[in-house]
Amino acid sequence: MSKFDLLSTVEYGGCSAKISPEVLDSLLKNIFSSFPVDFDKSKLIVGLDTQDDAAVYKINSEQAIIFTTDFFPPVCSDPYTFGQIAAANSMSDVYAMGGNVLMALNIIMFPDKKIPIDVLSLILQGGADKVREAGAIIAGGHSIDDFPPKYGLAVVGLIHPDRIVTNAAAKEGDVLILTKPLGIGTIIAGKRLGLVDDVNYEIALGLMKQLNKEAATLMNKYEVKAATDITGFGFLGHALKMAKASSVCLNIDLDKIEFIPQAIDLIEMGCIPGASFRNQSFVTTDSMIQGLSIKQDNVYDRLMLCYDAQTSGGMLISVREKEAAALLKELKNIYPYTAIVGNVEKLENVYIRLS
């Protein structure tokens, strides 16, 4: 079995490789604005209008299909681990909407003349094992010859139409809970530069491999209506999308957010991925955000990590205040970094208030 370092093939890996959210926003305003004449629009419960985590199509009064896809270049050195992470990330959108994963199709871009084919075998095995852990199956896929390699899944999930969790249902008075620490993108960038110790690198890998399945189960238990997973647009990018879709203000307490320990040190050293600056531009260009300035003392490092592109990141959950303490306790048993990071307020002048 050949030993091949996948990180040697990329400049931006994982969700850091996504197109800027600012660019996507401008594109989506002019695309997919119309439906076929005979299309029953009431069946499409969640579509492009709120830029949610996945699409949801109602089959009948008891069933709706959740459909999503995600793929990206390598985010770590080991092929098997990359397969696990890519699969966990692809399935996360289904969990963000409170659903169960039914099946998936592989999406494979791999240069079999440049990289040993057994590397692809390990990637696919990692993906298959993670899908099996989710209680689902891989039923096929598609491959092309391409460099650098990329891997992910097209995923189908199932949910009851009345139990869908969306990014458009946060309500005034809700409490905001974040289930995983921030800093994954910065840790991976530091790894490529040889600046990250083994302990923090393994923390990042463990976080990315961890399924959000249990979070979805608990959201259903506590009848959560609003959530989103934190991926390529960073914590504040996804928070802004939730605030806009829900027409509310998210009051974020920066001191309550958890970070991977060495990530803050890396920011102080100037190790900041390019995706962080793209996400910062997207969020700060919007006039409806106020609070802490990035120029304030002891704020820069933590605030930049709130723009950090996460791969297979945690859930930002908006839950009723009376349920928050109980949900937090159960989440911490599975996701130990879980923390209450703010609350939802009435929309007046701003979508996000930082404190």
Lookup: tokens for 75: 């985010």
DSSP of 157-189? EEE-GGG--BTT---TT-EEEE-S-B-HHHHHH
Whether 15 is catalytic is yes
10 Å CB burial of residue 29 (0-12, 13-18, 19+) is exposed
Enumerate the β-bridge partners of residue 56: 46, 66
Which of 15, 76, 249, 306 is catalytic? The answer is 15
Parallel, antiparallel or unpaired: strands 352-354 and 248-252:
parallel
b/e map 172-207, b = 16+ CB within 10 Å: eebbbbbbbbbbbbbbbbbbbeebbeeebbebbbeb
d(CA 117, CA 119): 5
CA distances from 109 to 9, 75, 149 (A): 13, 15, 5
d(CA 110, CA 79): 12
Q: Which are the catalytic amino acids?
A: 15
